[in-house]
Amino acid sequence: MKYIAVFDEDALRALLAVRGVRRREKLLDVIATLANDPFQEGDFTAVDKTGRPVQLRVVGRLVLSYWPDHAAKELRMIDIQPVE
C-alpha cells in the first residue's frame, strides 16, 4: 500500500540543503521505499514531544525522522539531520 511522502518545513529545507545529487537521490529512494511499505520500522525509534513514536532511518551520514499517518495514508517526514 503506497503512502504519500509529506515533508514538514524543516525536513524540506534539510532535503534541499543536502549536497550532492547522489546523496539527495539516495535519500529520495529510501523515502520512496518507505512510502511503498509504510509499516517498515526504522533503524531506531524515538518519541516526539507529543508522545508519538517516530522512526529514525540512517541513510549514509544522515538520519531521516518520520512517522506513518495511517489514517491519512501519508508518511510524515519531520527531520533530516547529520549523524552525530
Write the DSSP string, 30-79.
HHHHHHHSTT---SEEEE-TTS-EEEEEEETTEEEEEEEETTTTEEEEEE
Percent of the chain with pLDDT over 70: 100
Q: How many domains does the chain have?
A: 1
What distance in Å separates the CA atoms of residue 56 and residue 71, rounded to the nearest whole number?
Answer: 20
Q: What is the pLDDT of residue 81?
A: 94
Q: Which domain holds residue 26?
A: 4-82
Q: What is the pLDDT of residue 84?
A: 81
Average of pLDDT values for 13-38?
A: 95
Supply the pTM of this predicted model. Answer: 0.90
Asked if the model's pLDDT at residue 1 lies above 80, the reply is no
CATH number at residue 31: 3.30.2310.20
The 10s digit of each residue's pLDDT in 4-20 is 999 999 999 999 999 99
Average of pLDDT values for 74-79?
A: 96
Average of pLDDT values for 55-76?
A: 96
